[in-house]
Structure 1
Amino acid sequence: MSLVNNLISPLDIRLGIADRLKRIRLDQNVSQEQLAERSGVSLGSLRRFESKGEISLKSLVRLAISLNRAQDFDLLFQIEEEIDLFKPESKPRQRASRGTK
């Protein structure tokens, strides 16, 4: 992710996610009422999310699961492994052994 992407406001990020979820919902021909019932998220919460980008993480996960998009969360906070061919290989840490008395 570039520095430019990190300059997006939290509101713009939330609204972008809400817009994408709404587009997926519409592409699947699912009404707000149907999605609310399927997911167990209240209709008011779904409407607030689609209009203002406000929702709990728990509800967002439920909506994603209901739209068969739970796998999208795998990309969130993905850890990128850096490969350094010149770095010596580190040994796994082990607990110290207990001495006998």
Structure 2
Amino acid sequence: MGEYGDQNTPKEVMILLSKNVVALRKEQNFTQKELSEKSGVAYASIRKFERTGIISLESLLKISNTLDRLAEFESLLLPDEMEGLKKLFDY
């Protein structure tokens, strides 16, 4: 058991996110260059992210928006009481 218990390390989550973005990009038939142009994120940043998992939050959000996944970030890091209200009201 590592520093983070049974959970993935931050680096493992970064790599997982980058792999998911690659899969979504390919699913939508975008090349890295096309994703760069559509998202406004530098081509070099996309290449680096897909290879290493390293990217700024702003760039990740721009890419997510281009891939129609930005809404998924809205439920991240919600306080517990907000998550409960969201489920209750189907928000």
Range of TM-score over shorter length = 0.7 to 0.9
Residue deviations 1:38-73 (CA, integer Å, cap 9, x gap) = 011011000000010000001001101111110110
Partner of 2:37: 37
TM-score by length of 1: 0.72
The offset of 1:80, in angstroms, is: 1.9
CA distance in 2, matches of 1:64, 1:38: 11
Partner of 1:20: 20
Structure 2: 5+ residue stretches without partners: 85-91
CA distance in 2, matches of 1:67, 1:37: 13
Partner of 2:61: 61
Percent of residue pairs bearing the same amino acid type: 32
Paired residue secondary structure (1:25): helix
Q: Matched residue pairs, number?
A: 79
The offset of 1:78, in angstroms, is: 2.4
Partner of 1:4: 6
What amino acid maps onto 1:67 in structure 2? L
Moved over 4 A (4+): none
Paired residue secondary structure (2:80): coil
Q: Which has the higher helix share?
A: 2
